[in-house]
Amino acid sequence: MLYGYAGQILRVDLDGFTVEKQPLPEDLVDKYIGGRGFVARLLYDLIPPGTDPYSSENIVVIAAGPLSGHYLPGSGKTHFGTKSPATGMYGDGNLGGHFGPALKYAGYDVLILSGKASGPSYLLIEDDTVELRDASAYWGLGSITVEEAMKQDLGQAYEICTIGPAGENLSRFACISHDFGRQCGRTGIGTVLGDKKIKAIAVKGTGGLPVYDLDGLYQAGKRAYRDIYAKPGFTGWQPEGTAGITNFVNQVGAFPTRNFQTSSAEHYQQINGRQILEKIRITDKGCFCCPIPCGKYSRAGTALGTVNVEGPEFETISMFGGNCDLQTIEDVAYANYICDELGLDTISAGAVVGFALECHEKGLLSDEDFGRRVAFGDLPSVVHILELIAGREKIGDALADGVRLAAEKIGQGSERFAMHVKGLEWTGYECRNAPGMMLAYLTADVGAHHNRAWVLGQDVTGTDADVHSLIQAGGSGERLPKSDVRGKAAGVIASQHLRPAFDVLGTCRLQMMELGFEVEHYEELLALVTGRRKTWGNILEVSERIWHLTRAFSVREIEGFGRHMDYPPPRLCHDPVQSGPNQGHCISEREIDILLDEYYQARGWDENGLPTRETLDRVGLSDVG
């Protein structure tokens, strides 16, 4: 028996609607554990090479981990994946809230969607019952609005994932929303659901999960919670959540500002975590079994009206408060709400809007292109552009394809400041003087995403301190010397292996990353839940396998994939930071080459950045490549 797991894969083919329930294969469990591991392997195996992301053959995989839904801290995480319409590569995203546990209680570790529904539909899963229902009445509604409507129609006990108009209209950075504020944000998985005409997935499960040693787990779980309560960050980091890092990032000159023209914002104290607490927070909002809820549910009043929204988190603060230069926490929260309701990833959306505003500032786009005057720092401008994107109207039609494709259309040198890697927009850390973090962005398997590896603390302090400790130490705001780019690969690779470990287990990483909760806990908890003894090192081996597998997926899917795709946008090499601690700094292409050469060598990839046969064999991927 597979203790800890629900034990089944649910396969739904939307072409004609067929449902198949398969036992969860034991060899998949052995080699990939769960969550992100299942997603990576199933996408590689089930998507025919060369598949168009907008075809019936593309699939969406949703996978919980063995620890999802169990009595232990942060067990509410679920992984989603598809062939990304933003990048054409492996794409994934991670969702908090309660959806994954509900899927397991209904009896399924994995849900695989293939094909396309014939019209607007939603998928309803209630234990053994799986139905495709008409969603005509919901089509066109916002993500939050439709979740509220469906809970009224179906019942409060359903856990629901939805898409908004941006997903319906195939914006390439449409997200999936759940629990009134949790998102699976990146790589356009909401876009693929929209292409499949799936407005929502509603799940209700009434079953229990088998546990290898329930008494042992209950006691170990209690100890784990108590250990977290004892961490300084339990009272120090938790109240502001991820927004608490805003001051630090700004003071070390890594805060994207005005489309990465500079890396610190003078108004950062108007948009930080303290402002959330003092001005807009209604309640903390936690994911399943989380003792340190980073979610802040807020009510924010602006000139455009008052909204209720979960957030803003740090990434949204950086991309709208910094990158689009919105001046108050209320304005950032309002933009957050608009993105959530439209179903747009706030990170890519903030990058795209910042790019569009700079195009306008430089005269590459006119008022006519937007249908009105637009400017950095102006909330009505930002909201207007977001609505154009979601509706694919005017210049929004080009912008909805993301900065890479939009820059190709707009031309006139706009590629220089189109902030992305491999087609995925850059996120909330500016890196011209943070070479480790730069390398993390360049080599992230989904494109420019900070969540694959985060080594800004190492770049700035030279230590591996947890985030709460970094925040406590603070940044000086003083001018920083140019950093040495050598010797960064090992730290980046270690972080690239650490983070997937949580994604395969189905738990949140923040207990460890932010508070310093020890990884040894997970060895014990995994053994008690599943009866399978794995050291943390064994789990990191799975992370490494996934890392090479997703790279191999991209090599397979992108003609000519290689080193040339691992470079940053020209701005970071040629436009010096305009102000703040890193004023005047750039990173040269020669320095990028040093970063990549050291990284490829450490990874066992060739000079073009492709995994070698020997490396794939070494990590158990003899059947790949």
Which residues form the interface with other proteins (CB under 8 A)? 69-71, 76, 98, 101, 105, 144, 148, 156, 179-181, 205-209, 211, 214, 218, 222, 225, 228-229, 282-293, 295, 297, 299, 308-309
Contact 186, 94 (CB under 8 A): no
Please say which residue, 3 or 54, places its beta carbon nearer to other proteins: 3
Contact 526, 482 (CB under 8 A): no
Please say which residue, 300 or 352, places its beta carbon nearer to other proteins: 300
Please say which residue, 56 or 308, places its beta carbon nearer to other proteins: 308
Cα–Cα nearest to 605, from 536, 542, 550:
550
Please say which residue, 156 or 363, places its beta carbon nearer to other proteins: 156
The rounded distance, in Å, linking the Cα atoms of 508 and 502 is: 6
Please say which residue, 28 or 292, places its beta carbon nearer to other proteins: 292
Residue 198 CB, shortest distance to other proteins, in Å, is: 22
Please say which residue, 339 or 595, places its beta carbon nearer to other proteins: 339
Residue 236 CB, shortest distance to other proteins, in Å, is: 15
| Sign of the four-CA dihedral 66, 68, 74, 76 | positive
Contact 400, 389 (CB under 8 A): yes
Please say which residue, 292 or 352, places its beta carbon nearer to other proteins: 292
Contact 109, 21 (CB under 8 A): no
The rounded distance, in Å, linking the Cα atoms of 400 and 386 is: 9
Please say which residue, 174 or 307, places its beta carbon nearer to other proteins: 307
Please say which residue, 70 or 83, places its beta carbon nearer to other proteins: 70
- Give the three-state DSSP class for 198: strand
Q: What is the DSSP string of 462-530?
A: SS---HHHHHHH-------PPPP-TT-HHHHHHHHHHHHHHHHHT--SHHHHTT---THHHHHHHHHHH
Residue 21 CB, shortest distance to other proteins, in Å, is: 19
Residue 366 CB, shortest distance to other proteins, in Å, is: 37
Residue 387 CB, shortest distance to other proteins, in Å, is: 19
Residue 507 CB, shortest distance to other proteins, in Å, is: 13
Quick one: tokens of 263? Answer: 């890396």
Residue 296 CB, shortest distance to other proteins, in Å, is: 10
Contact 582, 249 (CB under 8 A): no
Residue 600 DSSP class: H
The residues near 481 (Cβ < 8 Å, ≥ 6 apart) are: none
Burial class (CB in 10 A: 0-12, 13-18, 19+), 153: exposed
The residues near 573 (Cβ < 8 Å, ≥ 6 apart) are: 586, 587, 588, 589, 592
Dihedral pair phi/psi, residue 6, rounded to 5°: -75, -30
Please say which residue, 307 or 513, places its beta carbon nearer to other proteins: 307
Residue 320 CB, shortest distance to other proteins, in Å, is: 20
Residue 298 CB, shortest distance to other proteins, in Å, is: 8
Quick one: tokens of 37? Answer: 């591991």
Residue 225 CB, shortest distance to other proteins, in Å, is: 6
Please say which residue, 215 or 478, places its beta carbon nearer to other proteins: 215
Please say which residue, 50 or 208, places its beta carbon nearer to other proteins: 208
The rounded distance, in Å, linking the Cα atoms of 32 and 543 is: 8
The rounded distance, in Å, linking the Cα atoms of 174 and 171 is: 6
The rounded distance, in Å, linking the Cα atoms of 281 and 291 is: 18
Please say which residue, 184 or 228, places its beta carbon nearer to other proteins: 228
The rounded distance, in Å, linking the Cα atoms of 339 and 334 is: 9
Please say which residue, 228 or 419, places its beta carbon nearer to other proteins: 228
Q: How many CA atoms lie within 13 A of 305 on its CB side?
A: 8
Q: How many CA atoms lie within 13 A of 428 on its CB side?
A: 25
Residue 443 CB, shortest distance to other proteins, in Å, is: 34
The rounded distance, in Å, linking the Cα atoms of 387 and 80 is: 26
Residue 221 CB, shortest distance to other proteins, in Å, is: 8
Dihedral pair phi/psi, residue 254, rounded to 5°: -130, 20
Residue 209 CB, shortest distance to other proteins, in Å, is: 4
What residues form DSSP beta bridges with 161?
A: 178, 201
Residue 64 CB, shortest distance to other proteins, in Å, is: 13
Q: Which amino acid is at 373?
A: R
Please say which residue, 132 or 304, places its beta carbon nearer to other proteins: 304
The residues near 94 (Cβ < 8 Å, ≥ 6 apart) are: 36, 77, 78, 79, 80, 184, 451, 503
The rounded distance, in Å, linking the Cα atoms of 205 and 105 is: 4
Residue 301 CB, shortest distance to other proteins, in Å, is: 14
Residue 276 DSSP class: I
